[in-house]
Amino acid sequence: MNIGTEQRQDLIQTLNSFKNKKVLIIGDVGLDEYVMGDVRRISPEAPVPVVEVTEEDKRLGLAANVAQNVSSLGGIPLMVGVVGRDVGATTLQEICHKANVSWDYMVHSERRPTTRKMRIMTGPHHIVRVDYEMRKYLSPETEAKVIHRINEVIGQADVVILQDYNKGVISQNLVKQTVEISKKHGKKLLVDPTRANPGEFYYGVDLIKPNYEESVALSGLKFDELRENPNKVLEVGRALQKKTGAKEVVLTRGKEGMTIFSGDKVDQVPTFARKVFDVTGAGDTVIAAISLGVAAQLPLVKSCTIANFAAGVVVGKVGCVPCEIPELKEYIQTAHGG
């Protein structure tokens, strides 16, 4: 698949169709914290590096990063997730406000902390990551509140995403309920899955977007065999279509690009990454771009091509950062690939 000058210009013009499309994102939200500094010595207390802090940063993480990518690409994110009643939730709400991510449909829980991931770094190198989280399913009462929020807001949305990071918001019952609510309202339902669940867990969705390792786990096929024979990618995609009932599977494969299954048709989209500093959040950018393409009723291959360009932008940066329209336009014009 070659990307010529005319096709690049067409993709840039197509980005206008993302404007004001509403995407409902349901899933695990979190706060990403970065503590950055210099390492010049080893601690006298233990054989560990001492980080002399020079900078701290707080960013939207998990499903909140998907939401801010929807916003930065011109869409309107509507986010349903669960946070605690703590300083993490307060900080997350403040950053959401700055990123034009709606907080109106969030659910607060007295029993769970807000998910936070603190990364301590020197330059691009991670020293350690500290997680504050509760990785278990919601109580029936809290899940009922989430489902109520979905019912409350789904009529506004052009498309729906289930964003599963295996933190507990996305249960099989929540998937089932969201499938039913989406069908009732005529909304297309996408899922960004976790490899912790079998493919049947997501039965009834319209599109599933796993990476290669996730796809193998979801399919139930043997990973070692598939790694030795990449040609079996087709077998994995077909198995996922069958297990999830999804007509469309977007299988992301790193430097190999994407393999796209749509009904009986299979397409390939190349990668467009010039340099890779950090792949954190790249999948979030991809699902955000695909969802906006679906909302704009673009052909799936075209949506995925734009998504791969957007991923090429964010992997050149450190941490979870949104892809902005001006830099995406420039990248589509100049990036090699295809």
Where are the domains positioned within the chain? 5-29+62-120+135-334
DSSP letter at 319? Answer: S
What is the pLDDT tens value at each position of the chain, 338 positions in all? 567 888 899 999 999 999 999 999 999 999 999 999 999 999 999 999 999 999 999 999 999 999 999 999 999 999 999 999 999 999 999 999 999 999 999 999 999 999 999 999 998 889 999 999 999 999 999 999 999 999 999 999 999 999 999 999 999 999 999 999 999 999 999 999 998 999 999 999 999 999 888 998 898 887 666 565 667 889 999 999 999 999 999 999 888 889 999 999 999 988 876 654 445 568 899 999 999 999 999 999 999 999 999 988 887 665 567 888 999 999 998 877 55
The answer to whether the predicted template modeling score (pTM) of the entire model surpasses 0.85 is yes
CA distance 336 to 68: 26
Name the residue type at position 3: I
CA distance 225 to 212: 13
| Residues identified as active-site | 284
* CATH of region 5-29+62-120+135-334: 3.40.1190.20
Q: How far is CA 236 from CA 18, 244, 252, 291, 303, in A?
A: 31, 12, 12, 23, 22
